[in-house]
Structure 1
Amino acid sequence: MAEIHREFVGLPSPLVGRAGAGGHPCQGVYHRPAGERPRTAFIATHYNVDFSEHYLAEYLAERGYGFLGWNTRFRGNEAYFLLDHALVEIGVGVRWLREQAGAERVVLLGNSGGGSLMAAYQSQAVEPNVTPVPGMRPLEQAYGLPPGDLFVALAAHAGRPQVLTAWMDPSVTDETDPLSVDPGLDPFDPRHGPPYDADFQHRYRTAQRARNERITDWALAELEALRGGRARDRLFAVPRTWADLRMIDPAIEPSDRRPNWCYQGEPAKANYGVFGIAGSCTLRTWLSMWSLRTSQCTAAPHLARITVPSLVVHATADTCVYGSDARTLYDALAAPDKSLEFVKADHYLQDPPTARPRAADLVAGWLADRT
């Protein structure tokens, strides 16, 4: 096994100052083969998950590549996420790879939720299109971002508003009461399933979209009500977001996944727990990240601006990313050179134990063919 050199990278953000305790807003860890300066390097960033020690970093470094697991200031801070700000801070990492690490080619790795985020980065770099949420100024730093040279989507969702809406429990009747329920839409009422018939699935999906739209209507109205007052934004909670019917019923979009399971365990328990995506939001974060109507975190429009060689890798035993997600990403890519590959593994490629090295071989092999 090759010796791996790890370097902590802490850099200023063009948008906010350094923390009083000393931390830089932009931070990550650069992995590379010891004694080498790779000509090709990856960068991986997520909306809020810490990617500094990403699970593929060492594997790809062993195969001769650099890997910057990179965090914006929104790591662990999802409630305050703003897309245009995050893209500027991803650009800090890309510039460091080119100007300091010596990378001649940069591969944008969009893993999990990071798929749509890194797609948005490349999209903004090649054809600026991301606009600020209501009440915020455009960022001049969001123009002239350095683009990547290749793009990889790994176990990636189709977009932040899409994944939230697909996971939402539409039986919530009162957003301020996490126990409120419409019995006619309750996915955990055995009278409905599983298995769930086509009529229930249709009503359920329609009601999920309606719930997302209701929250957007409310958020826009709240922002308008705050205009001119002391407060510019406010926090609110979004309960019950582990209720995709596919999590419960394996007959819907069959795959190698574990039935009746999600990233937080059994859906019926997770759905009524306190850990969930979009659990805490500001009004502007909802509009920036989660709203079907206003969010620019949907992958497809950004993928339509990506023309560099691109690879989509789907983990077939993923409990919450499905084959349709991978096909949506692949079909939306504008790249003439694009590939869709599959690995039999869970979302984080932990099971089976060979999944991570196999995925690294797959990505490295694809990349080697494009030197």
Structure 2
Amino acid sequence: MTGIVREFVGLPSPLIGRAGAGGHPCQGVYHRPEGAPPKTAFIAAHYNVDFSEHYLASYLAERGYGFLGWNTRFRGNEAYFLLDHALAEIGVGVRWLREHAGVERVVLLGNSGGGSLMAAYQSQAVEPNVTPVAGMRPVEAIEDLPAGDLFIALAAHSGRPEVLTAWMDPSVTDESDALSVDPGLDPFDPENGPPYGAAFQERYRAAQRARNERITDWAIAELAALKGTRARDRLFSLHRTWADLRMIDPSIEPSDRRPNWCYQGEPVKANYGVFGIGSLCTLRSWLSMWSLRTSQCAAAPHLARITAPSLVVHATADECVYDSDARGVYGALAAGDKRLEFVKDEHYLRDSRPQVADLIDAWVRER
């Protein structure tokens, strides 16, 4: 088996300077086989999760590729996320591959939540469309991003605002009270299910969208109220975001997934815990990432601008990405050359990583 070289990459951002302690805003680890530099390399980034040691990096390096597990300055810093800033910093990684690593073909790997992020990157690179969030200046660095040559969506969600809305608990009646509840919408009240009837599901989904819209209304009003004050933004917390009915009731969109389970364990415990997506936001990061109305982090509009050859891989036992997500991503892609593949495993592919690496390797080599 070929030896693997792992190189730390720390680079400046076009938007902010190096940290006082010395760290570069853009950081990652480049995995490659020993010997001649590979001509094809992957880059993977996420809104918040550290991808520098991505679980597929070594497997794809063993198969002759470069793999840059890349982090923008928002790694572990989701509360302050701004899409246009993140795209500029992904562009730093893509340029490094082309200009310094000797790579001729770049494969954009959109994994998990990173699916919509990397779709937004390619979309902006081929047809600039991303605008600044309210009150922010345009980011010149996103007007000329180097595009990827191939696109892969792996166990990918349908977009940040869609995922949060599908997961959020609409029975919250007071956003400042983590225990407030409308019994008629409580997913953990046995009177409501599981199993959940069609009428309850319809009311529940409508109430989830309504909760998202209420928070957006409030965020816009709060920003307006801050004008003329000493503050430009403010932090707020978001409670109870592990309550997708599909997590609890396996009869809704059946799959190979474990029933009554989510990425944080049993949904009722996760929902009332302190670890959740969107749990801490600023007004502007809510509008940039989570709002159904204003976020540009939905995958579908960006996928519609992607014409590069594209592969979608869905894990059929994924706890929180469902068959409809994968088929939605596949259907939204504008690529004439696109493929949808399935593997029986959970979200992080703990049992099938070599198999998925082989699948990706074969697909890339065909092109």
TM-score by length of 1: 0.99
Q: Does 1:356 align with 2:353?
A: yes
Show the counterpart of 2:227.
227
Post-superposition shift, 1:154? 0.2
Show the counterpart of 2:251.
251
Q: Does 1:368 align with 2:354?
A: no
Show the counterpart of 1:138.
138
| Aligned equivalents of 2:337, 2:227: Cα separation in 1 | 48
Give secondary structure in 2 for the equivalent of 1:341. Answer: strand
| Aligned equivalents of 1:320, 1:16: Cα separation in 2 | 35
Q: Which amino acid aligns with 1:271?
A: N
Per-residue CA deviations over 1:189-231 (Å, capped at 9, x if unaligned) read 0011110000000000000000000000000000000011100
Post-superposition shift, 1:139? 0.9
Q: Which amino acid aligns with 1:364?
A: D
Show the counterpart of 2:196.
196
Show the counterpart of 2:286.
286
Show the counterpart of 1:345.
345
| Aligned equivalents of 1:26, 1:215: Cα separation in 2 | 31
Show the counterpart of 1:34.
34
Give secondary structure in 1 for the equivalent of 2:9. Answer: strand
Stretches of structure 2 lacking an aligned partner (at least 5 in a row):
none
Aligned alpha-carbon RMSD (Å) = 0.4
Show the counterpart of 2:74.
74
Taking the TM superposition and a 5 Å limit, the aligned residue runs for 1:1-371 are 1-350=1-350, 353=351, 355-370=352-367
| Aligned equivalents of 1:131, 1:358: Cα separation in 2 | 39
Give secondary structure in 2 for the equivalent of 1:67. Answer: strand
Post-superposition shift, 1:36? 2.4
Q: Which amino acid aligns with 2:151?
A: F
Give secondary structure in 2 for the equivalent of 1:339. Answer: strand
| Aligned equivalents of 1:8, 1:228: Cα separation in 2 | 44
Q: Which amino acid aligns with 2:254?
A: P
Give secondary structure in 2 for the equivalent of 1:342. Answer: strand
Post-superposition shift, 1:335? 0.3
Give secondary structure in 1 for the equivalent of 2:46. Answer: coil
Per-residue CA deviations over 1:226-277 (Å, capped at 9, x if unaligned) read 0111000000011000000000000000000000000000000000000000
Per-residue CA deviations over 1:341-371 (Å, capped at 9, x if unaligned) read 0010100001xx3x0000000000101100x
Give secondary structure in 2 for the equivalent of 1:75. Answer: coil
Length, aligned pairs only: 367
| Aligned equivalents of 1:344, 1:237: Cα separation in 2 | 36
| Aligned equivalents of 1:2, 1:180: Cα separation in 2 | 56
Give secondary structure in 1 for the equivalent of 2:107. Answer: strand
4+ aligned runs moved over 4 Å, structure 1: none
Q: Which amino acid aligns with 2:349?
A: L
| Aligned equivalents of 2:114, 2:202: Cα separation in 1 | 29
Give secondary structure in 1 for the equivalent of 2:75. Answer: coil
Q: Which amino acid aligns with 1:365?
A: A
| Aligned equivalents of 1:287, 1:318: Cα separation in 2 | 28
Post-superposition shift, 1:324? 0.3
Per-residue CA deviations over 1:7-56 (Å, capped at 9, x if unaligned) read 00000001000001100000000000011211000000000100000000
Q: Which amino acid aligns with 1:138?
A: P
Q: Which amino acid aligns with 1:208?
A: Q
Post-superposition shift, 1:142? 1.1
Q: Which amino acid aligns with 2:46?
A: H
Q: Which amino acid aligns with 1:106?
A: V
Per-residue CA deviations over 1:161-181 (Å, capped at 9, x if unaligned) read 000000000000000000000
